[in-house]
Amino acid sequence: MYYSGHPYHLYVPPSHLEDIKEKIIIMNLMTTKETERLTEILTHQIVIFGATGDLCRRKLIPALFKLHEKELLPSNLVIVGTSRREHSKESWIETLGDYPEEFLHRLDWVSTDLENPETLQHLPDADDTTYFLSVPPERYESAIVNLKQGGLLDDPETSRVVVEKPFGHDYESAGHLQSVVERHLREKQIYRIDHYLGKDTVNNILATRFSNTLLEPLWNRQYIEEIQIFASETIGCEGRAQYYDHAGAVRDMLQNHVLQVLALIAMEAPCKMNARELRREKTKVLAATRLGTNIILGQYDGYRNEEGVDPQSSTPTYFAGSLFVDNWRWQGIPFNVLTGKKLPYQCVEVVIKMKAPPQQLFEGHEYNDRIVMRLQPNPHFDIRIDIKSPGLNDNVETATLTHAYPQERAIDGYEKLLYDAINGDQSHFVHSEEVMESWRIVDDLLCTGDKCPIRTTPYLYRGGWGPEYKSQWITNWDYPS
């Protein structure tokens, strides 16, 4: 939010508005020199730890640049890159690609070591700071402790920390990390990224569900037979073996992206569209969610030969199985999920299979009504219904009503997430309770060996939609195409 009506273009975080209005009234009574001094006080910065890494170069800086172009960054925001490497501002900028001078002006470099609290004191001061931890997750704990001990996170209104997934490695480790967070930060200061929540098409699930009355009366166990969620990729682990071989499909996709999509599909309407209410409803639905017993894990052929992968690896690259949401709306309705790498089609899609009408008046036609939400690529919304076939007979055939989601105005997820973080809006970040519920749901899939409650040894698959002979037992999948 910008406070207009004043010669200085001031960015005002919502919580500060009243305070600033008061300052501006005073400023109007001041001399130019005095007002300049006051505007200087209102500085903002985003400090990116791990600024020499891939995420910063490929995602964060381009997203910040787009926000800059759209004049959506606070006019005095400084982007501080930092890491252990010795860099100057100039040498860092050279690694980032081509940007206009007026954007590069905002960038600065400071070398720090997150493990060495003294070096953190070299970071510039600002009134409002977003610390983005683009560092390996095992460093989150010491980063939070050291930033706090260095006095950089003292004010919960004006300092916050953004972390990427994964938050923990399983239920226990996530609980431990959360206890560190709780000792040092307020929940309002921690922004846990699930980049799916930055996607317009994912956020469109709620808009489509709750800004229309058409769907909501049907959106329950009375009219829905089954929900299928696909998150399939054609690529393999693509040189990320060091991370992926310890994560696998369950930690990499199911625990976060897929469960977030499930929560948005299954949750009740929040009483308000704000971070507290949205996340409260998601937490409730995740708390009601459990794994079914028909679970298939798979590993694509050739995975063990990839560079950096353990040749004996039993890491799953594929998950297919049913989840159930034990509440009044969804009791007994399977949410069948299929996610994996090296599958025939890259796609994120939700298929809502409607129940058949009570009486089949039209013979010879397989009942096929569906609502389909394609989140990527070519996002669209389909309603498949039966209509009368033209002609003399009384047969029916399936017709599809499609609305393509407007992509021309689409933004990159990181643009949205950085904008929200800088502006102190946590609506599209994951709350600690959601994280813990998500880990609880998948915890049985994370153990290895004979004592696991679920068979976790992956089946091999090559081509096709995973170990099809097995996953076909789960349901008759509506594979995307």
Q: Which two tokens stand for residue 458?
A: 């992956």
CB of 195 to ligand BG6, least distance (A): 6
| Nearest Cα residue to 39 out of 52, 49, 30 | 30
CB of 252 to ligand BG6, least distance (A): 5
CB of 66 to ligand BG6, least distance (A): 17
262 or 348, CB closer to ligand BG6?
348
Q: Check if 257 is active-site.
A: yes
Counting beta carbons within 10 angstroms of the beta carbon of residue 187, is it exposed (0 to 12), middle (13 to 18) or buried (19 or more)? middle
204 or 294, CB closer to ligand BG6?
204
44 or 341, CB closer to ligand BG6?
341
CB of 316 to ligand BG6, least distance (A): 13
Strands 289-300 and 224-232: unpaired
11 or 429, CB closer to ligand BG6?
429
Query: DSSP assignment of 262-302, as one string?
Result: HHHHHPPPPSSSSHHHHHHHHHHHHHTEEEEEEEEEEEETT
CB of 297 to ligand BG6, least distance (A): 16
Q: Which two tokens stand for residue 423?
A: 């502006």
Report the DSSP beta bridge partners of residue 2. Answer: 11
Positions touching ligand BG6 (CB under 6 A) are 233, 252, 348
174 or 185, CB closer to ligand BG6?
174
* Long-range residue pairs from 272-278, CB within 8 A, at least 24 positions apart, any chain: 273/427, 274/427, 275/425, 275/426, 275/427, 275/429, 278/206, 278/427
Which one from 16, 184, 195, 257 is the annotated catalytic residue?
257
* Long-range residue pairs from 362-370, CB within 8 A, at least 24 positions apart, any chain: 362/386, 362/394, 362/395, 362/396, 364/395, 365/395, 365/396, 365/397, 368/398, 370/478
Look at phi and psi of residue 302 and say left if phi exceeds 0, alpha if psi is from -120 to 50, else beta: left
CA-CA distance, 88 to 82, in Å (whole number)?
10
CA-CA distance, 17 to 11, in Å (whole number)?
10
The residue at minimum Cβ distance from ligand BG6 is 252
CA-CA distance, 56 to 142, in Å (whole number)?
21
CB of 199 to ligand BG6, least distance (A): 7
CB of 207 to ligand BG6, least distance (A): 19
233 or 349, CB closer to ligand BG6?
233
Contact 384, 299 (CB under 8 A): no
Helix (H, G, I), strand (E, B) or coil at 49: strand
12 or 202, CB closer to ligand BG6?
202
Positions marked active-site: 257
